[in-house]
Amino acid sequence: MKKLFAAALLSLAALAPATVSAQPVTLKLAFFASDTEVNYAKAIKLWADAVNADPAGAVKIEAFPNGALGKALPAQPQMVLDGVADIAFVNPALVPGRFPDDQLFELPGLIGNMKEGVELYQALLKSNSMRGYADYYVVGSFMNANAHVFSRKPIKSVNDLKGMKVRISGAVIGQTVKELGVVPVLMPPNEVVEAMGRGTIDALTTVPAAVVDFGIDRVTSHDYLIQLGANSFAVLMNRKKFESMPKAAQDQIAKYSPKWINDTYVKNLSAFNDELIQKFKADKKRTVVTPAEADVKVIKQVSEKVTADWAAKSPENAQLLAKARALLTEIRAKK
């Protein structure tokens, strides 16, 4: 009897490691803003749901939206490295010291639309052409739509921009509007409404989705569709955490990263931004202006100067711009 009992214990002991290893790896996903914000609701949450529903069951994503793990958008990359979160949504433009090459995407006129921007971003990451990403596994590489100007003051032409204090979404976009006579102010989107109320800024550069998501439509009524350049966004995971997981867990994350989430983002966000532009045009309380031909010429001259100045800052900038243009030629040839 004792021998049978001992044999049973040994059998249970042998099964124990398998039982432990079968437990899913739980990953904390941080999002700095509301769970209704469009990047979260129309892409990131869908990704988390897809991963969690995968039959492999090797990973469980535990989401913390509404800034539950931290509301400061510039702090998100460090939160991932510090283990506060395993995965987070990141705006590289707000931490240019960490992600210096992402300024490329802000060059006016470089990226035609969101889809080709996402493809370019992913191609550059895949070829290890972007500094700052070595410590991260890239879950998603998003590209915002081209930024416009949304203002509380009327804007009928580029001349009306002169002297305005304008929130910018990145340093290069800031340089572009500065060349048009604007005073640029860098800040996260969730601080804009308060800044408008205090008179710290008169307008901002952003995209239609952000105007609605952060309540900016309540404090602006004049939209100038100027095409200022884009901003990259990323969903980043701590690389050490990713590499420490069992292969089954790595495979489950990789199955939905980055193509699945990128495709979802492009499909949903492109349609959403287009819908909002039409909604703004139909709103009698808003004025939507597209630059006249004379203004387009001015904007083009400024765009060419900003691009040339950026490329001349360093050999690395010039090489990256050349590579991006070559990749864009390939991407556009596939259409």
Domains of the chain: 23-144+230-273 (3.40.190.170), 148-229+287-333 (3.40.190.10)
Distance CA 63, CA 30 (A): 6
Distance CA 182, CA 171 (A): 13
Confidence at residue 169, expressed as pLDDT on a 0 to 100 scale: 82
| Token pair for 235 | 């969903």
Cβ-based neighbours of 26, under 8 Å, separated by 6 or more: 59, 60, 61, 62
Confidence at residue 94, expressed as pLDDT on a 0 to 100 scale: 87
CA 335 to chain centre: 24
Measured distance between the N- and C-terminal CA atoms of the chain, rounded to whole angstroms:
75
Alpha helices in the chain (DSSP H): 2-21, 38-39, 45-53, 76-82, 114-126, 171-179, 192-198, 208-213, 239-244, 247-255, 259-282, 293-312, 315-333
Among residues 195, 112, 187, which one has the least CA distance to residue 152? 195
Confidence at residue 20, expressed as pLDDT on a 0 to 100 scale: 41
Distance CA 299, CA 132 (A): 31
Confidence at residue 314, expressed as pLDDT on a 0 to 100 scale: 96
| Token pair for 29 | 């996903």
Cα distances (Å, whole numbers) of residue 33 to 158, 315, 330? 32, 37, 36
**Mean pLDDT, 10 residues at a time, over the chain (335 residues)?**
46 44 89 94 98 98 97 96 98 92 95 95 96 98 94 96 93 93 92 93 94 94 94 97 98 98 96 94 96 94 96 97 97 88
**Tokens 């939160």, residue located:** 79
Inter-residue contact 43 to 261 (CB < 8 Å)? yes
DSSP letter assigned to residue 94: G
Question: Is residue 209 exposed (0-12), middle (13-18) or buried (19+ Cβ within 10 Å)?
Answer: buried
Confidence at residue 13, expressed as pLDDT on a 0 to 100 scale: 46
Q: In what order do the strands lie in the sheet with 87-90?
A: 59-64, 25-30, 87-90, 232-238, 136-143
For residue range 247-265, list pLDDT tens digits in order: 999 999 999 999 999 999 9
Question: Is residue 65 exposed (0-12), middle (13-18) or buried (19+ Cβ within 10 Å)?
Answer: buried
Helices and strands counted in the chain (H then E) = 13, 11
